[in-house]
Structure 1
């Protein structure tokens, strides 16, 4: 992994210019997507979250590029511990779960739903919880049981959460009723 692309990610920072540069590079050189996934999904690598930043941006811009990596991504969701990576992967889960261009398998849907429920009930920051709610709202159209589960979790946690969480929760609850 000690090549120019790896070093570029390793030396990257959270600045918009830096992340956009890496995103543009991968979009123009999709053969590096495999290596990006190897970096982002490798929990042993201390800077894997930097790869997640780019993976998240690809999911937002051209989610279909991730179609060959969905199983690996879904398998990695429960292993992520870094806050920055959790935030990014909550967005990846949202874009994968709600993309009309992707035909997820039932197993992939189950893994996304499961991690979203986990993010909602765990002591996570607001952003992953909000993306988890929005992803579950989408899946509630297909799996009716999610509505009750989502309602129960939000009702239980609502009073102790931030105003951002509360605003998102009200929006989601309105849509699932």
Structure 2
């Protein structure tokens, strides 16, 4: 399948779990489509890029290892994504990676997630925290930053500052997640 053919196929992806899963499995069964999916995802001003992000998120939820050969490309370009419908899946994938990295069970992400990739993830998560993003990317980013704070001393103090500063101005969803994170940080 060419990039153009995949682009056309993504027109059929919608908000339903069934469609997202169907196309995620299509990509999992054809890993040569991953670079093409990323190419479409990083056409950041195109509405179809959001659909590529949805498929990538579902692929990663099924098996994060498929993204490993593409971590450099993904982490280099994820900061360019700006459409709300695409930002949320990017933040969720970052959280998947952080959770896998800090999982107590051995896994391939622990070796694959180089320091430079971690730093790019940390950077994009802080961007989501300080930009005018919706609650979901902020919530995923809070958790990602909390996890990476175990290895980066400066993250937790910065995260506390942002959470406390923005607490009163944010939604109830933000406040609920922020309270959870702040409780963990103050232990």
TM-score range, shorter chain: over 0.9
2:14 maps to which residue? 13
| Aligned residue number for residue 44 of structure 2 | 43
Contact 1:113 1:136 in 2 (8 A): yes
CA RMSD after TM alignment: 1.4
The TM-score normalised by the length of structure 1 is 0.93
CA distance in 1, matches of 2:79, 2:179: 27
Q: Which position in structure 2 is the counterpart of 1:108?
A: 117
Pick the aligned partner of 1:2 from 4, 9, 17.
4
Match of 2:104 in 1: none
Task: Report how many residues are paired.
Answer: 176
1: CA distance, partners of 2:45 / 2:129: 25
The 5 Å alignment of 1:62-77 reads 62-77=63-78
- 1: distance between equivalents of 2:141 and 2:13? 27
> Which 5+ residue runs of structure 2 have no aligned equivalent?
102-106
**Cα offsets for 1:49-75 (capped at 9, x unmatched):** 100001111222211110011111111
Deviating 4+ runs (over 4 angstroms): none
Within 2, Cα distance between the matches of 1:126 and 1:88? Answer: 12
Q: Structure 1 77/31 Cα, relative in aligned 2: closer, same or farther at 3 Å?
A: closer
The one-character-per-residue Cα deviations of 1:105-149 (angstroms, maximum 9, x if unpaired) are 111111110111110011110000000000001001111211100
Where structure 1 has 5 or more consecutive residues not aligned to the other structure, the ranges are none
1:170 positional shift: 1.0
